[in-house]
Amino acid sequence: MKNFAVCFNKNIPNSVAVKDKLLKILSDKGLNAKELNVDNLQDGFDFVFVIGGDGTILKSARFFAKFEIPIFGINLGRLGFLSQSSKENLENSLDLILQGKYVIQDRIMLSSGKFTALNDFVIKGCETGRTTKFSLKINGKPAGDYLADGMIIATPTGSTAYGLSAGGPVLEPSLKAFVIVPICPHTLSARPVVVPDSENISISTDGKYVLSCDGQELYELDKEIVIKKSDFCAKLALLDGAEFYSILRDKLHWAVPPVYVNKF
């Protein structure tokens, strides 16, 4: 690798300081890297370090996916589920990257026309405080109607985000599948559904609705939306030994028993 970039989000505290530190470390190792603001991305690199929270990584991943450029996340946010490093172990992580001790994992994404998402598409009615009827079709065939606050279509990567909080299952990132999760459905029979990523998912409502792409881009639409697998994959660089279930345990406290406090 010769062409590096360091992408940062100036709106996140300490992002500029960590960016400057990383650029200096690279320079001390005889490597040049271009500085990129997350709001002004460009291509032409072999590898990109992304400094910020999961939102910064999601935005960067969507952009660099179409150029097949791998990204490596350095967490400055709260959860940092998509990150592989923190500012405290920055130099050690960089050394491992330069030694080639990492793998690049392809993460499937969602697509609908000009819209793309790595985590999820969320569809909600425009009337705040009221449920909306959502009609679901899979490959053009009716699959069900939901009276709900909204619908989430998530990738395996996004299954640990909004879909999880809405009661959806956790999908291992390498699975070739999507999960469809109704948000607060007004029935006891509505349950999340996992479908192959080869399926075309269609959702329509009786009126206007709002489409959210990774919780970052909002669009008001009034026509049926057809969602399918994107032609591009996000390329996430993961350090050797990074294991999905350990990340679940460490960051989401998955399957961790409660701590009992002796009050006596």
Active site residues: 54
As beta bridge partners, residue 122 has 152, 212
- Nearest residue to 105 via CA among 211, 204, 238: 238
- Cβ–Cβ < 8 Å for 120, 158: yes
| Inter-CA distances, 151 with 124, 138, 234, Å | 7, 14, 23
**DSSP 3-state of 197:** coil
Of the CA atoms within 13 Å of residue 93, those in its CB half-sphere come to 20
CA distance 67 to 75: 23
Helix (H) or strand (E) holding 47: strand 47-52
- Cβ–Cβ < 8 Å for 63, 229: no
**DSSP 3-state of 227:** strand
CA distance 40 to 42: 7
Contacts of 207 (CB under 8 A, 6+ apart): 125, 126, 132, 222
Radius of gyration of the chain (CA): 20
